[in-house]
Amino acid sequence: MLVAEGLMVFYENMLALNNISIKCGENQIIGVFGANSAGKSTLMYTLSGIILDQMKKEKMRGGEQITVMGEISLFDQDISSLKPHLRARRGIVLCPERRRLFPESSVLENLKIGAYMATKKEAKETLDYVLEIFSPLKKLLHRSAGFLSGGEQQMAAIGRALMAQPKLLLLDEPLLGLSPAYQQVVMESVKRIREMKKISIIITEQFARPVIPIVDYAYIMENGSRVMSGSGQELLDNPDVKAAYFGV
């Protein structure tokens, strides 16, 4: 469903993404692994279109010059120059790194903001279903999001992204700062989301071990370039990859 060809992103003269091509089929989970400064977040911003917004803002205040190149298509339609909110309407929804919840709104309000484009019926269904997957949120609905713990915030953030009725969900480092037990919980729920909602998911992460069991296909990035790709098992069998990203 999503095909990105030859993505290149420059921050001023620094190459952040070097000729990246990735594909995501329907109902697939794709993993993108890489260390710091590999370009994972840039890739997510580029796919979701947020980078176009950053580009505009930087230009306005005379800051860094961002250059974006390459082609992205969703369901065989070119969306390379589509603005982020229009991409979200077509179904690409980003759950950003470090959650970016609205700290002064309650959890319920956060989820409702996410459902802005959904119909009432969809919103209600999705809300029930988000609370079913992330059951700890039930008790926290009226607490302001800024006071939740990291794991709870992560659940709320993924929940908010789901409320927007994604066809392709982009999860940028969803495990950041979570305990191993919580990581398992989040990964299990990602798997369930895929099964119940029949949507595609792209996950980026630094440490591949908790993610690899649920992905169908994975890419490994280093300094903005794709260095390897394969199914989860193929990557697991590769000794270099094992040493670098699985901590074995």
Binding residues for another protein (CB under 8 A): 8, 10, 12-13, 60-63, 65, 67-69, 80-81
Q: In this complex, which beta carbon is closest to another protein, that of residue 31 or of residue 49?
A: 49
For residues 32 and 87, give the distance between their C-alpha atoms in angstroms, rounded to a whole number: 21
For residues 132 and 124, give the distance between their C-alpha atoms in angstroms, rounded to a whole number: 12
**Nearest distance, CB of residue 211 and another protein, angstroms:** 31
For residues 81 and 91, give the distance between their C-alpha atoms in angstroms, rounded to a whole number: 15
Other C-beta atoms within 10 Å of 216: how many? 16
Grouping H, G, I as helix, E, B as strand and the rest as coil, residue 143 is coil
**Nearest distance, CB of residue 106 and another protein, angstroms:** 21
**Nearest distance, CB of residue 59 and another protein, angstroms:** 9
Q: In this complex, which beta carbon is closest to another protein, that of residue 44 or of residue 52?
A: 52
Q: In this complex, which beta carbon is closest to another protein, that of residue 61 or of residue 120?
A: 61
For residues 7 and 114, give the distance between their C-alpha atoms in angstroms, rounded to a whole number: 28
**Nearest distance, CB of residue 10 and another protein, angstroms:** 6
Structure tokens at 156: 């709320």
Q: Which amino acid is at 149?
A: S
For residues 74 and 63, give the distance between their C-alpha atoms in angstroms, rounded to a whole number: 31
Q: In this complex, which beta carbon is closest to another protein, that of residue 116 or of residue 147?
A: 147
Q: In this complex, which beta carbon is closest to another protein, that of residue 81 or of residue 179?
A: 81
Q: In this complex, which beta carbon is closest to another protein, that of residue 67 or of residue 238?
A: 67
Q: CB–CB of 117/89 below 8 Å? A: yes
Q: CB–CB of 54/45 below 8 Å? A: yes
The DSSP string of 68-94 is EEEEEEETTEE-TT--HHHHHHHTEEE
**Nearest distance, CB of residue 213 and another protein, angstroms:** 37
**Nearest distance, CB of residue 68 and another protein, angstroms:** 7
